[in-house]
Amino acid sequence: MRKFISDILFFAVFAAGFYLALLMLWGAYVPARFKPNLSYIRGAYGHSYSRFAEAKSFGKVDVLILGSSHAYRGIDTRIFTEHGYRAFNLGSSSQTPIQTQMLLERYLELFNPKTVIYEVYPKTFALDGVESALDLVSNDKNDWNSLKMALSIHNIKVYNTLIYATVYDLLGLNSGFKEKNTKGTDTYVSGGYVEKELSFFQPVTFEAKEITFKNNQLQAFTEFVTLLKQKDIPLLLVFAPIPKVNYNSYTNMSFFDAQMNKFGGYINFNEVISLNDSLHFYDGHHLNQHGVEHFNILLLEHLNYQ
């Protein structure tokens, strides 16, 4: 029995080392099609790398913005600056409450914000969080909070990518990486915002859908709301405008509004602002720059009022 236990332990150590070595080689040399459970893309869509790099040295802010692409493509920090608010946008693609919690734990002290705006998009509460986790793991420095996030999501692709990214960083293989400010029609703006070249949405039909909540997402959401309360930082929950064709396809929006209202200050801007699906959006989800300006002015009015 003793030999069996010791063999198992030695093999566990051997297998861990073998796994790590092969993962690094596989990640570096094998074509992407043979890496279904490893997705390490530095400088991916959405300028996360530039955003997190800037976040580390940005300093204290008045307003910290978090959320999905509706946040970093919908809330322009330049407009906030014009109105006397120093703001930073920590939004990222498909960011779910699990990632928001991790980012707050990592950056809250650094930014020391007077107010936090959290953009709530219903779908993010029903996602597994894998897509956003891969984005953050690949484009930000990893720490214990990354591991905590990975355990919460419990997905092999996230585990593999986290191991790969951590070793990659430890070996200093990323030191020379620089992300272009403009990629395609997207331009990164200092403060975390991404501006899209002006274009207009051709409305399409959206299938009816229902809003649901995943338990682990709701738990993460509740925990970071509590954290902000404990730190006495006001939180404003914002449902950013989306095209009416998309918004009206939700069959239980009142349920979502009721849920959000339980957590404090919440504004559903789809019920407040009247925008045109073609003129103010560039796709079925995101505002174009005209729409952003309309929405941000109104958001600032609410912020001033609060």
Partner 1 sequence: MLFNSLDFAIFLPIVFVLYWFTVNHNLRLQNLLIVAASYVFYGWWDWRFLGLILFSSLIDFAVGLGLSKQENPTKRKILLWTSIIVNLGFLGFFKYYNFFLDNFSAAFSLFGMELRAYSLNIILPVGISFYTFQTLSYSIDVYKRKLQPTKDFIAFSAFVSFFPQLVAGPIERATNLLPQFFNKRIFDYDKAVDGMRQILWGLFKKMVIADNCAVFANEIFNHSSDHSGSTLVLGAFFFTFQIYGDFSGYSDIAIGTSRLFGFDLMRNFNFPYFSRDIAEFWRRWHISLSTWFRDYLYIPLGGSQGSTWIKVRNTFIIFTVSGFWHGANWTFIFWGVLNAIYFLPLLLRNRNRANLETVAAGKILPNVKELTSMLATFSLTMIAWIFFRSDNLTHAFQYLGTIFSASLFSVQTLGNFTQAQNILLLIGIFVLVEWQGRNHQYAIQNFRDILFKPLRWSLYALIIFLIGMFMPSVESPFIYFQF
Residue closer to partner 1 (CB basis): 5 or 184: 5
Helix (H) or strand (E) holding 266: strand 266-268
Q: Are 98 and 104 in contact (CB under 8 A)?
A: no
Residue closer to partner 1 (CB basis): 28 or 272: 28
Minimum distance from residue 81 beta carbon to partner 1 (Å):
41
Minimum distance from residue 160 beta carbon to partner 1 (Å):
6
**Strand partners of residue 281:** 287
Residue closer to partner 1 (CB basis): 27 or 67: 27
Q: Which residues contact 302 (CB under 8 A, 6 or more apart)?
A: 236, 267
**Which among 87, 102, 100 has a CA at the least distance from the CA of 190?**
87
Residue closer to partner 1 (CB basis): 21 or 204: 21
3-state class (DSSP) for residue 142? coil
Rounded Cα–Cα distance for residues 85 and 60 (Å): 11
Minimum distance from residue 9 beta carbon to partner 1 (Å):
12
Helix (H) or strand (E) holding 22: helix 2-29
Minimum distance from residue 17 beta carbon to partner 1 (Å):
8
Minimum distance from residue 156 beta carbon to partner 1 (Å):
6
State the SS3 of 51-114.
HHHHHHHHCCCCEEEECCHHHHCCCCHHHHHHCCCCEEECCCCCCCHHHHHHHHHHHHHHHCCC
Minimum distance from residue 269 beta carbon to partner 1 (Å):
34
Rounded Cα–Cα distance for residues 204 and 245 (Å): 7
Residue closer to partner 1 (CB basis): 4 or 305: 4
Residue closer to partner 1 (CB basis): 145 or 155: 155
Residue closer to partner 1 (CB basis): 156 or 204: 156
What Cα–Cα distance (Å) separates residue 282 from each residue in 73, 74, 202, 248? 11, 11, 8, 18
Q: Are 131 and 149 in contact (CB under 8 A)?
A: no
Minimum distance from residue 13 beta carbon to partner 1 (Å):
11
Minimum distance from residue 14 beta carbon to partner 1 (Å):
6
Judged by the rule CB under 8 A, the positions of this chain that interact with partner 1 are: 1, 3-4, 7-8, 11, 14-15, 18-19, 22-23, 26, 33-38, 130, 154-157, 160
Residue closer to partner 1 (CB basis): 10 or 177: 10
Rounded Cα–Cα distance for residues 276 and 191 (Å): 27
Report which residue type is found at 182.
Answer: T
